[in-house]
Structure 1
Amino acid sequence: MNSTPAKKPPAKAREKVVMGLRAMDFIQHGTEASLEIVTPLGQRLNFKSNFIGFDDQQHIFFTMPKLSKGDYEMFFTQGFNVDIEGVSEKGEGALVRFRTRIEHVIYRPVSLIVFPVPQQAKLVLLRNEIRYDLRLPGDIQLSNRKLRVILTDVSSGGCGFAYDAISPEFDVDQKIVIEVINSTTQDTYALSGGVKNGRTKRGKQTYGMVFDEPGKANCRRLLSTLIYDGTKYVFKNPKKDQALGGKT
């Protein structure tokens, strides 16, 4: 039997352009972003910074990274171009990319970098499946202990998780298993796969992972046991459902 594999949508179909201040709405305040300063001679400096916000004067604000005095003198000059990339958690999820320029470098009393709002930004959509918001506890077995994490969202192909700790840190493509237990039924769901990305957000370590085939199968089992409570997805309560069903 001949079969034709399904074609993936072209890459451009996963991209869209947004204009001006609207681009800033896609990055949450406090989110870590990647910045690259490009000098007129083509020299480049990459660093991480946190997005603080924007004002009605078309300014956007980022925290100042801790760098050497030489880096400050060479790269932090008014007018130098800066490429910025951040992650949006809204909707389908996206990378937000845009170019702007250094407008002000403020060292005192608070260290800030000020940029003009870009004319436009590119959104590169990350997700192909519906993603469900939740807050389910899970455990990752480390070499010497279990790490308690919170599943923040889940889809048929992957999930996001977070934890309040500086360490451990996971590498991209590192294989992990998140074990989720339904405290009512004691059923266990082993969500296995590889780490896709990671970042620090508001003092938390947050990661995304992609499931392998066993992980996908266990995720389907997990999704079949969840119900929406009005704000997020939680485990169904069979006892509660039976009690409601028994009323006349």
Structure 2
Amino acid sequence: MNTNSAPAKKPPARPRERVIMGLQAMDFIQHGTEASLEIVTPLGQHLNFKSNFIGFDDQQHIFFTMPRLTKKDYEEFFMEGFNVDIEGISEQGEGALIRFRTRIAHVVLRPIQVLVFPVPQQAKLVLLRNEVRYELRLPGDIQLSNRKLGVILTDVSSGGCGFSYDAISPEFDVGQKIVLEVVNKANGDTYALSGGVKNGRTKRGKQTYGMIFDEPGKANCRRLLSTLIYDGTKYVFKNPKKDTGPGGS
């Protein structure tokens, strides 16, 4: 036996990060999306908070909502020139985290409260998904302790899915086990997408979550995907076949 044989080569790893430049980075964050911000002072102090992305202008400015913090926090951290690390979720393509560093250009208090930053020279995209994601809008339910929560299944891949709902509560914890049930009203088939919550955020007034399937959830997801068809904008359930035999219309 040849003990010196070389191991089989694995296929090259798929790149999970890439760098994008300037204003192009802003195209990867939808307006109204919640992001995580961290102010870093020259003395190394850190302040973390959530803020919503408002947009950008042609003068290389980007705008975020002002968070609700203490007066002391504002006095210590909201100074022009302080560095800010920003992380948001990109919904484009296969989904990614977008990260970049900028600095505080202006703290606007009147007539509205807005944080203004220069557009970063570059940003980093970190791929979140290895599987193809299918965009859809299917109603579903999550069984809570005392009731069912109606949600919308917004996207699905072989390994997980995204869902959203309008209610302020309940909120799910990262790692929490849930089962999202989708019913095909045409034939009554039920697909129980089980797994754990991976992330959550507020987006345009909605609670938006991502989850990772467990093995039963993956099996039911494969069943679900086999029943969907693309209608030109999103994936929907296939229409049942009509009777085209004698006497059929």
TM over 0.5: yes
State the identity %.
Answer: 82
Residue 54 (structure 2) aligns with: 52
Residue 80 (structure 2) aligns with: 78
Alignment of 1:1-248 (within 5 A): 10=13, 13-240=15-242, 242-243=243-244
CA distance in 1, matches of 2:231, 2:100: 37
CA distance in 1, matches of 2:149, 2:165: 8
- Calculate the TM-score normalised by the size of structure 1: 0.93
User: What secondary structure does 1:24 align onto?
Assistant: helix
Letter of the structure 2 residue corresponding to residue 152 of structure 1: T
Report which of the two has the higher share of helix: 1
For residues 79-126 of structure 1, what are the alpha-carbon distances to aligned partners after superposition, in whole Å with 9 as ceiling and x for unaligned?
Answer: 000000000000011100000000000011100000000000000011
CA distance in 2, matches of 1:93, 1:6: 28
Over 3 Å counting, the alpha-carbon distance change for 1:8 and 1:194 in structure 2 is farther
Give 1:239 shift: 3.5
CA distance in 2, matches of 1:247, 1:14: 53
**Structure 2 alignment gaps of length 5 or more:** 1-6
CA distance in 2, matches of 1:247, 1:44: 71
CA distance in 2, matches of 1:109, 1:192: 47
User: What secondary structure does 1:238 align onto?
Assistant: coil
CA distance in 2, matches of 1:145, 1:169: 14
Give 1:243 shift: 4.9
CA distance in 2, matches of 1:9, 1:145: 47
Give 1:237 shift: 1.2
Give 1:181 shift: 0.7
Give 1:238 shift: 1.3
CA distance in 2, matches of 1:216, 1:22: 35
Give 1:7 shift: 5.4
| Runs of 4+ with >4 A deviation | 4-11
Aligned Cα root-mean-square deviation (Å): 1.9
CA distance in 1, matches of 2:104, 2:12: 36
Give 1:161 shift: 0.3
Over 3 Å counting, the alpha-carbon distance change for 1:88 and 1:243 in structure 2 is farther
Over 3 Å counting, the alpha-carbon distance change for 1:24 and 1:232 in structure 2 is same
